[in-house]
Each structure stands twice: as C-alpha cells, then as structure tokens.
C-alpha cells in the first residue's frame, strides 16, 4: 500500500499532469491518500466573512446606526386573517387549535334554529287539530231556502242485471218521469233543454210508449233486446249496458246526441215540445216524438220537421227547418196587400211611392185627372204566399196587376192605357202589424 501511495503521489502524478500538457502542482499540494470524510482538507482554511452592521442588526452590533422603521402606509395595510367559516366539522370556527369549549358553544348555536322551527310546526299542528275538532262539533243551521238537488247520479237506482236497467228506463219514459229515466245512465254533452218533464210529457201525449217487453238476459250480458210501441209504431231495438264499480248495471248512455245544423233566422224562434231552443248545435234526446214550432201566429215549421226517436241509436241531424205561412198569416197578408194595392190605385201621381207603376209620359199630365181601375177585381186572394229562402221571417207573393189608367194632359187632350204588370208583395211575417213592400 505504501508503494502504491508513493507511486500515486510522484510517478503517477507526474505522468498524469504530463499527459495534460499542464504544469504540475507543487509538492505537498495534493494528499498522498484520500482524507477521511470527517477530517478537513489539509492546506485550506476558510476565512471569516466580514460582518457589516445594518439597520436590522441588534443594538449592541448596530452602534450609532439607527434602527429600521416600517413605513406607516405598510402598517395600516396589514390585514389580519379572520376565521373562515365552513372548515371541517372537527375544527372550530376560530381555527384548528381552538379550545373544545368553543366547539361545544358553536354546536349549541347551530341547534337553536332547529328547535325553534320544531316549536312553530308543533303550534301549527295543534291549531289545525283544534279547528278540525271545532268544525266537526259546531252546530250547523240549515236554511229553509236552500234546495238540495236530487241529481240523477245521486238517485241512481240499484240494478243487478242489464235487462232490469233497460226495463226501468223504458217504464220511466212511459210514465213521463224524465229525472228517473236519465238516472239509468250518463247524459251526453249536448244541450239538455229537452231533458225536462214538460218536454217528455208532450212526447208521451203525442206518442205514448206502451207494450214494453224486455226478456230476461244473462247476468253478464252487455246488449239487451227490447220491444215496445211508440205511438202507432212498433219498435224492436238493442240497448248497450255496462256494469258500474259498485256492481250495479246501467245504460251506456241514457240519451242520444242529435246535431242541429239547420239554417235558422234570428227572428223565427225554434220551440220543440214546448221548450225554446237557443243557438245550440247539439241536443240530447230520449226516445219519443219531437214537434217543431215557431210560437208565431203567421209562421209555422212544416210538418216534415217533426222527428221520432225510436231508440238511443238515432243520430240523424236536423239539417233543415222549412217554414210555411199559416192560414191565419195568409188571411192577414191578403187583407194587408189588398189595402196597399187599393192605395196605389187611388194615388193621383204617375209614380206613387211604394207602388211599382211605370207610366211614363212625354208631356206633363194634370194630377187631379189621373184615374186607375183594376180590370181584374181581386188579383190578391188567389196569390201563393211563400217564405223567403234567404230569410224565414219574410213572406212574399207574386201579384198580377192588370188595370186601366186615364189622365188629361190639358183641358182638351186625354190619354188612356191598360198596363198589365207583375208585382211582388213582401212583408215581415213575424210582426203583428203587417207592412207591405212592393217590388217587381
């Protein structure tokens, strides 16, 4: 090892520096062997760094140098951190190292609102219970003026089979009991103006329901066969029935819906079985007959407007409501037209007002000499009176007026003529006082 060390320090070292073309360090500058890790490198001693006093040095080292001062602006801008809410539940609001007493106080503060809410809820519940007990036990005065309706649904009969429901329905119609009849099933969504006792009684009076025969059916049958007589007409029909949730049976519907699509005049009322029908588009009907009336003395619906509902399968729409002039209306129109025509004949002008006379003259005539005379004495009585197609309130007739006219042009000259003209007389037949309007 000694030989190796000497070789490392002399020959080996000389050869190593020679290979680098650099000058070798002086003898003894490099150790002959690596020094232990805890022994300082020989040949070098670090010097002490000079200590220069500053304004931040201790007073004994600062000497006469003044101490450092922080600017006032920086002092005032210092922000002291505040406790942050929302820390983990195991940390107090003031910090992680807060005393356990503060944790308990914070938990108590959190519990107070919950206790307050529970108290309010308890008071509300107690109030509701008290009001319910009072409302159930308080005395109630029932006014004698209050009418409790006996609706069809409330008085629905208890029926254990479908055939019994159909039989009860037809028997109620035959007896004129509308309320009981419609209690055997739901009513459609149309107007119920005719679902009143008076309308049913008018139907029964015109065509009574008799000879009702409903054979017994199976307890689960949904179609029931029935036979009866409506007026003079024999009816054989099927009725649909359904079972209710309470186990009783009823008709699938106690009425049929009929559409009222006919053109109507605002001046001509529509009265069916004594009931005035307003501007509706659908009617709910039960089996029976229905007669249309105007309620006016001079106008009436034609007999073809009368309908007979044999059963609940009837759905034919009322698409036309033709109107005729009554006998009373014709007599009144004839009298009014005759009076108006006579006034036209007596009027001493060539063109009287409201008279379609065309008697032109190239020379002026003396009005007081004008004379007219009907060649056909009574052209009005045989006229045909009809209702206007565009307005059912207006009645009109075509009158053939053939007359003779004479007039003086001057004291020496006289002119004559025999016009033969077709005049049309019109009048509003809904008003009692008929006023005739003439036209061609």
Q: If you search the block for the tokens 């190239």, which residue do you land on?
A: 362
Lowest-pLDDT range of 15-24, 188-197, 231-240, 334-343: 15-24
Residue 14 CB partners (closer than 8 Å, separation 6+): 24
pLDDT at 413 over 70: yes
225 and 280 fall within a common domain: yes
Whether the CB-CB separation of 172 and 228 falls below 8 Å is answered with: no
Lowest-pLDDT range of 24-28, 115-119, 291-295, 341-345: 24-28
> DSSP string spanning 208-265?
-EEEEE-----TT-SEEEEEEEETTEEEEEEEEEEE-TTS-EEES-SSEEEEB-----
Adjacent-strand bridge partners of 213 = 227
Residue 131 in any domain: the answer is no
Adjacent-strand bridge partners of 428 = 394
Q: What is the pLDDT of residue 386?
A: 94
pLDDT higher at 114 or 400: 400
**Rounded Cα–Cα distance for residues 157 and 167 (Å):** 12
Query: H-helix or E-strand containing 167?
Result: helix 162-174
Diameter of the chain by CA atoms?
191
Residue 147 in any domain: the answer is no
Mean pLDDT along residues 382-399: 93
Whether the CB-CB separation of 430 and 268 falls below 8 Å is answered with: yes
Q: What is the mean pLDDT of the chain?
A: 80
Q: Residue 362 belongs to what domain range?
A: 327-439
Query: How would you classify the pairing of strands 394-408 and 414-417?
Result: antiparallel
Query: How would you classify the pairing of strands 282-285 and 275-276?
Result: unpaired
295 and 399 fall within a common domain: no
Per-residue tokens: 375 = 């060649």
Please, which pLDDT band fits residue 16 given cuts at 50, 70 and 90? low
The number of CA neighbours under 13 Å toward the Cβ of 395 is: 31
Residue 371 in any domain: the answer is yes
Mean pLDDT along residues 80-101: 53
Q: Please give the radius of gyration of the chain, using alpha carbons only, rounded to the nearest integer.
A: 60
3-state secondary structure of 121: helix
Helix axes 162-174, 197-206, angle to 10 degrees: 80
191 and 214 fall within a common domain: yes
Can you give the pTM of this predicted structure?
0.61
Lowest-pLDDT range of 69-78, 118-127, 160-169: 69-78
Residue 41 in any domain: the answer is no
| Residue where a domain stops, chosen among 298, 324, 350 | 324
Domain count for the chain: 2
Residue 259 CB partners (closer than 8 Å, separation 6+): 281, 282, 283, 317, 318
pLDDT at 121 over 90: no
Q: What is the pLDDT of residue 213?
A: 97
286 and 407 fall within a common domain: no
Mark residue 311 as left, alpha or beta (left: phi above 0; alpha: psi -120 to 50; beta: remaining). Answer: beta
| Residue where a domain stops, chosen among 265, 295, 324 | 324
Per-residue tokens: 346 = 């007596």
Query: H-helix or E-strand containing 284?
Result: strand 282-285
202 and 213 fall within a common domain: yes
Residue 255 in any domain: the answer is yes
Mean pLDDT along residues 52-76: 65
239 and 297 fall within a common domain: yes
**Rounded Cα–Cα distance for residues 229 and 310 (Å):** 9
410 and 290 fall within a common domain: no
260 and 401 fall within a common domain: no
| Residue where a domain stops, chosen among 305, 324, 343 | 324
Q: What share of the chain is helix, strand, coil (3-state, %, to 5)?
A: 25, 20, 50
421 and 272 fall within a common domain: no
pLDDT at 93 over 80: no
Lowest-pLDDT range of 135-139, 335-339, 373-377, 422-426: 135-139
Measure the CA angle with vertex 208, ends 241 and 185; round to 5°: 20
293 and 405 fall within a common domain: no
Lowest-pLDDT range of 36-45, 113-122, 335-344: 36-45
Lowest-pLDDT range of 235-239, 333-337, 436-440: 436-440
CB-based burial label for 249 (10 Å; 0-12, 13-18, 19+): buried
168 and 309 fall within a common domain: yes
Whether the CB-CB separation of 350 and 334 falls below 8 Å is answered with: no
Whether the CB-CB separation of 438 and 340 falls below 8 Å is answered with: yes
Mean pLDDT along residues 229-246: 95
Per-residue tokens: 254 = 């106690």
Whether the CB-CB separation of 181 and 288 falls below 8 Å is answered with: no
Could you report the per-residue pLDDT of 270-294, keeping only the tens digit for each?
A: 999 999 999 999 999 999 999 999 9
Q: What is the pLDDT of residue 59?
A: 73
Residue 246 in any domain: the answer is yes
């Amino acid at each position: 090892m000694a030989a190796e060390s000497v070789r490392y320090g002399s020959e080996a070292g000389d050869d190593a520096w020679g290979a680098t073309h650099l000058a070798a360090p002086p003898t003894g500058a490099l150790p002959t062997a690596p020094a232990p890790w805890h022994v300082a490198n020989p040949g070098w001693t670090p010097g002490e760094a000079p200590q220069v006093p500053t304004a931040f040095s201790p007073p004994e080292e600062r000497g006469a140098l003044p101490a450092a001062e922080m600017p006032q602006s920086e002092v005032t801008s210092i922000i002291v951190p505040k406790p942050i809410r929302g820390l983990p539940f195991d940390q107090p609001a003031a910090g992680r190292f807060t005393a356990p007493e503060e944790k308990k106080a914070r938990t108590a503060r959190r519990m107070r609102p919950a206790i307050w809410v529970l108290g309010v809820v308890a008071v509300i519940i107690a109030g509701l219970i008290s009001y319910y007990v009072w409302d159930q036990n308080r005395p109630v005065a029932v006014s004698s003026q209050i009418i409790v309706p006996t609706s069809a649904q409330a008085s629905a009969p208890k029926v254990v089979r479908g055939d019994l429901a159909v039989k009860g329905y037809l028997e109620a119609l035959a007896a004129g009991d509308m309320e009981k009849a419609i209690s055997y099933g739901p009513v459609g969504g149309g107007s119920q103006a005719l679902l009143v006792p008076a309308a049913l009684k008018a139907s029964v009076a015109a065509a009574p329901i008799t000879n009702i025969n409903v054979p017994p059916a199976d307890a689960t049958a949904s179609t029931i066969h029935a036979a009866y007589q409506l007026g003079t007409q024999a009816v054989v029909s099927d009725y649909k029935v359904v079972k209710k949730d309470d186990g009783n049976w009823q008709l699938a519907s106690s009425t049929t819906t009929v559409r009222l699509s006919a053109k109507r005049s605002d001046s001509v009322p529509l009265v069916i079985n004594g009931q005035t029908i307003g501007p509706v588009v659908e009617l709910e009907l039960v089996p029976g007959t229905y007669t249309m009336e105007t309620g006016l003395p001079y106008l009436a619906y034609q007999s073809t407007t009368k309908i007979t509902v044999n059963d609940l399968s009837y759905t034919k729409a009322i698409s036309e409501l033709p109107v005729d002039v009554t006998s009373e209306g014709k007599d009144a129109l004839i009298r009014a037209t005759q009076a108006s025509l006579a006034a036209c004949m007596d009027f001493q002008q060539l063109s009287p007002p409201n008279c379609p006379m065309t008697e032109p003259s190239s020379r002026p005539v003396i009005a007081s000499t004008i004379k007219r005379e009907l060649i056909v004495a009574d052209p009005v009585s045989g006229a045909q009176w009809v209702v206007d197609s565009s307005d059912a309130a207006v009645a009109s007739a075509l009158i053939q007026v053939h007359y003779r006219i004479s007039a003086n042009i001057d004291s020496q000259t006289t002119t004559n003529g025999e016009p033969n003209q077709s005049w049309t007389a019109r009048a509003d037949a809904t008003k009692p006082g008929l006023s005739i309007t003439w036209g061609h």
